[in-house]
Amino acid sequence: MICWQCHETIGAPVCVGCGALQPPPGTADPYVILGLKPSFSISDEVIDDAWRARSRMVHPDRWAGKSAVVRRMSLQWTAAVNSAKRVLKDPLARARFLSTGDPNPPETGGPQPDGDFLEVIFDLQMMAHSDPDGAKMTVAALWDKNRTELDATFHTWETGEGTLDAVGMTLAKLQYLNTARTQTGA
Amino acid sequence: MANIGIDLGTTHSLVAVVIDGQPRCLLDDDERALLPSAVRYDAKGQPICVGYPALAAATQPGGTTFTSVKRFMGRSGAEVADDAQRFHYDLVQGDDRAVRFVVGEKEITPIEVSAMILRLLHARAEECLFGRPGGAVITVPAYFDDAQRQSTRDAAMIAGVKVLRLLNEPTAAALAYGLNQGTNGQTVAVFDLGGGTFDISILKLDDGIFQVLSTAGDTHLGGDDFDQALAELVLNQAGISDVDGPTYRAAITAAELTKRALSDSDTATFKATLAGQEVEAQIDADSFENLIRPIIERAGEACRQALGDAALSPADIDQVVLVGGSTRMPMVRKFVAKLFGKSPHSGLDPDRVVALGAAMQADILTGESALAEDMLLLDVVPLSLGLEMMGGVVERLIPRCSAIPAAQSQTFTTHVDNQTAVDLHVVQGERELVGDCRSLGRFKLSGLPPQPAGVPRIKVEFMVDADGILRVSAIDAATGISTDIEVQPSYGLSEDQIEAMLEAAIDNAETDVDERLLIDARIEAEQIASQVAKAIKCDPDMLEPGEKEAIETGLSALKDAMAGNDRQRITAGAHHLDEVTAPFAQRRIERDLQLAISGKAAADVAKALGI
């Protein structure tokens, strides 16, 4: 990132060279906003520390006497930092972001896969970088397994509340797996 | 330019500033820090005085003294009807958007009354600091909703006070306390029971950061309620049923004194003249406690909610800090000690601590604070913000206790072909149905290009700023054009109304100047007239023929002018009298001079001769 004021190359919301507050990042990625490495296993302390450090830099109280433009940037930055904390502190939301790339994925209204499944999806995505072929195979296997599960549920359809939920859950998993299939090229 | 901190309280208000690295409350001419939050209006609805004199005149006829107006801020007439009846304030009926009091022919909003208090505190600061303050941090109860915060901001605007930040009262108190004690790494509960509002905030203090974990409260719970309960009890016992305004005031004042006395002793006497009747009642601490227990219990509920939201148990709280005058009551202290399982502490004056914290935050906001270079307050929104969805269900966009500033966006579309406008209804509260939440405003997005239903994608962003006030913006995602938003606030004033009040405030200021000049002119004319009258009486023989008549005509013309309000006529009359009297006055002066010289000379001769 290049400082808008002094053109120094920097990696923080506030320029180390001239002390200018930078415009908020053009991303909703909570890891980028808080300056953290993407990882599902991240402790609350690490998130809180990063959030506090970022708040110290960007909070409106720090820029109270500055121009309206700077104050607005500080407001947007802080709002982004606070949203990022909210997403990362919630394991489910964190996993959803890691699997969809969207910090606020649209609610489908139906049942949502549990954290364990999302962790599997997340691991797949990590694997896609380190071991693309392995990831492709795992995705394909998971896809087949869930398709079979879905077919089986349809075949042994029983009227009752449980069945519909089971179908919804499998469909939701398949949606995630479909995204993973496109990403891994399976 | 120094920034100031203002605690705009229900019963008392204060102003403080950081001087030489120390926050201090500024005092009035009689060395008092507390300004009663009372404003007196005459029968015509003109403001007369603020503070102690307004309070002293409260039981007098011929006007209205407004107290506790903070309870009416950002509320509708229907919401505060009970309070208005109790205080004997006449409300404008039929308009539920904002409360307006009726005094004579005038309608006065609580915002204008608050503005009078703010203006006086600002003037006090200006006097003490020998210059206009840069800006002000004004404290509000943490549990104030958007409409109540907005009203506070509007009051400051009308008073001509530049608002740097609205700061939550418990957070301000924590800041004032935080510097005086080694509280690093501690979790602190601030129990703030003031005259009319209750807040509980749970904060984590870490390396200069004051992070609010959760907050809860009741904007209708405070010392006022204890006074009212006691006053009503005594009025009932005395069999006084037809209570008028002045009687109620007198009962409240006596109840407050009794309450204070009960903080120091087990029994106290309620004594007052109510409706021409001498009323005296012995109140013991136990029966008073029974009377107010249900009121205090409400604070307990809020405390439990705040602990729940912070995911903490009472044992996790390292310190409990007491703020607000009502925490002087032994019963409140006992209640808090029991609730948190530890004795609360209150090293600072509970009446002043909020103002001191506000002054510190004001100092931090100068950006050059030596006092608190690394201090940072991270606060939260007290109540969830959401939108009305189909079927009257609330969709929560920003949940309560979210860190502020907070932003959240939602994309909307149209339901009908060629629809060019969308209505949004914003609500605040914790209930699932719109009808159970507080309406904040209706937003109309207009100017959408005509398109088939479901095609437009309008991204609406909610942004809660550092003051805890919501702003809404909208963008047409397809075109990137921001959509026009027309805001119709559910409570409070529209922009036009604020503008009108600002103009009225300026007009009033001009009226004030005119009035002062008129008074000055009268005083001057009075002096001239009395001197002239005295002179013609003393030295009638020194008057030339015809001179006496001319002077007397001038004198009576001036007296006529002085009876009226025409300043120019008074000045002209005084000038004319001065002119016609000039030769006569000249002769008198010469004569006096002669006398003085000759007298002095005679004395000197006598002295020289040793007589």
- If asked whether residues B522 and B440 sit together in one domain, one would say no
Average pLDDT, integer, range B165-186: 83
- If asked whether residues B503 and B488 sit together in one domain, one would say no
Q: In the predicted model, is pLDDT for residue A109 greater than 60?
A: no
| Distance in Å, alpha carbon of A36 to nearest chain B alpha carbon | 19
CA B488 to CA A165: how far, in whole Å? 43
- If asked whether residues B120 and B93 sit together in one domain, one would say yes
Contact assignment for A75 to B463 by CB distance below 8 Å: yes
CA B226 to CA B297: how far, in whole Å? 13
Pairwise pLDDT comparison (B40 vs B273), residue with the higher score:
B40
**CATH at B438:** 2.60.34.10
Q: Retrieve residue B422's tokens.
A: 């969308």
Average pLDDT, integer, range A58-84: 89
Q: Which residue of A has its CA nearest to B463?
A: A79
Are B117 and B50 within 8 A, CB to CB? yes
Positions of B marked active-site: 7, 70, 169, 192
Q: In the predicted model, is pLDDT for residue B605 greater than 60?
A: no
The per-residue pLDDT for B597 is 56
The per-residue pLDDT for B578 is 85
What are the contacts of B561-568 at 24+ separation with CB within 8 A? B561/B525, B562/B522, B562/B525, B562/B526, B562/B529, B565/B518, B567/B514, B567/B517, B567/B518, B567/B521
Count, residues in chain B: 611
Contacts of A64 in chain B (CB under 8 A): 164-165, 365-367
- Structure ipTM over 0.85, yes or no: no
- If asked whether residues B591 and B473 sit together in one domain, one would say no
Tens digit of each residue's pLDDT (9 = 90 or more) over B419-475: 888 888 888 888 777 777 888 888 777 777 788 877 788 888 888 999 988 888 888
Average pLDDT, integer, range A154-175: 68
Contacts of A61 in chain B (CB under 8 A): 165, 361, 364-365, 376-377, 466
Are B56 and B181 within 8 A, CB to CB? no
Q: Is B463 on the interface with A (CB under 8 A)?
A: yes
Mean pLDDT of chain B: 85
Q: Which residue of A has its CA nearest to B406?
A: A79
Closest CB to B164: pick one of A52, A55, A64: A64
Q: Where is the domain boundary, B473, B492, B511?
A: B492
Tens digit of each residue's pLDDT (9 = 90 or more) over B377-394: 999 998 889 888 766 778
CA B447 to CA B387: how far, in whole Å? 21
Alpha-carbon torsion (B148, B151, B153, B156), positive or negative: negative
**CATH at B372:** 3.30.420.40
Strands B406-412, B63-67: pairing kind: unpaired
Residues whose CB falls within 8 Å of the CB of residue B439, separated by 6 or more in sequence, listed in order:
B425, B426, B427, B490, B491
The per-residue pLDDT for B34 is 94
Are B429 and B418 within 8 A, CB to CB? no
Tens digit of each residue's pLDDT (9 = 90 or more) over B309-353: 999 999 999 999 999 989 999 889 999 999 999 999 878 899 999
- If asked whether residues B115 and B235 sit together in one domain, one would say no
Q: Is B209 on the interface with A (CB under 8 A)?
A: yes
Q: Retrieve residue B336's tokens.
A: 């808090």
The per-residue pLDDT for B193 is 94
- CATH homologous superfamily for A30-100? DnaJ domain (1.10.287.110)
Q: Where is the domain boundary, B333, B357, B378?
A: B378
CA A113 to CA A142: how far, in whole Å? 14
Contacts of A59 in chain B (CB under 8 A): 376, 378, 466
Q: What percent of chain B has pLDDT over 90?
A: 34
DSSP helix/strand/coil, B212: strand
CA B424 to CA B581: how far, in whole Å? 77
Find, among B157, B205, B185, B268, the residue nearest to B500 by Cα: B157
User: How many other C-beta atoms can be found within 10 angstroms of the C-beta atom of residue A58?
Assistant: 25
- If asked whether residues B230 and B214 sit together in one domain, one would say no
Cross-strand bridge partners of residue B102: B107
Find, among B75, B199, B79, the residue nearest to B140 by Cα: B199
CA A83 to CA A33: how far, in whole Å? 9
The per-residue pLDDT for B40 is 93
Pairwise pLDDT comparison (B597 vs B146), residue with the higher score:
B146
Contact assignment for A82 to B404 by CB distance below 8 Å: yes
Q: Where is the domain boundary, B351, B378, B405?
A: B378
- If asked whether residues B486 and B542 sit together in one domain, one would say no
- If asked whether residues B480 and B534 sit together in one domain, one would say no
Find, among B213, B364, B402, the residue nearest to A81 by Cα: B402
* Region of poorest pLDDT, from B227-231, B235-239, B582-586: B582-586
Q: In the predicted model, is pLDDT for residue B190 greater than 60?
A: yes
Mean pLDDT of chain A: 80
Average pLDDT, integer, range A100-120: 70
- If asked whether residues B28 and B67 sit together in one domain, one would say yes
- If asked whether residues B392 and B468 sit together in one domain, one would say yes
| Distance in Å, alpha carbon of A68 to nearest chain B alpha carbon | 13
| Distance in Å, alpha carbon of B129 to nearest chain A alpha carbon | 20
Q: Is A163 on the interface with B (CB under 8 A)?
A: no
Residues whose CB falls within 8 Å of the CB of residue B337, separated by 6 or more in sequence, listed in order:
B343, B344
Cross-strand bridge partners of residue B16: B5, B25
Give the domain ranges of chain A: 30-100, 115-184
Average pLDDT, integer, range B210-225: 91
Domains in chain B, number: 4
Contacts of A24 in chain B (CB under 8 A): none
Contact assignment for B365 to A65 by CB distance below 8 Å: yes
Find, among B354, B454, B351, B467, the residue nearest to B411 by Cα: B454
Contacts of B378 in chain A (CB under 8 A): 52, 55, 59
Closest CB to B376: pick one of A59, A75, A86: A59
Domain that holds residue B41: 4-222+290-378
Q: Is B603 on the interface with A (CB under 8 A)?
A: no
